[in-house]
Amino acid sequence: MKKIIPLLLLLSLGFGFVYGQDFEKQAPEGFDVVRTDIPKGKIETINYPS
């Protein structure tokens, strides 16, 4: 019984740190919208003897 009390105290303090990080920033509006004004690249393949 004497060993369980410090263990419970340690666990209860440990769970406080799980939610200790605050949410700082939100993603800007429209970050996940497809934009047609951005130039797209071209994929080229190169063949070579190996």
State the pLDDT confidence band at 49, using cuts at 50, 70 and 90: very high
> Does the pLDDT at position 28 exceed 90?
no
Q: Tell me how far apart the alpha carbons of residues 48 and 9 are, in angstroms, rounded to a whole number.
A: 65
Q: Which residue has the tokens 């130039």?
A: 39
Q: Tell me how far apart the alpha carbons of residues 14 and 23 are, in angstroms, rounded to a whole number.
A: 19
pLDDT attached to residue 21: 61
> Does the pLDDT at position 17 exceed 70?
no
pLDDT (mean) for 36-46: 88
Half-sphere exposure of 42 (CA within 13 A, CB side): 3
pLDDT attached to residue 11: 77
The larger pLDDT score, comparing residue 9 to residue 16, is at 9
Reported pTM: 0.30
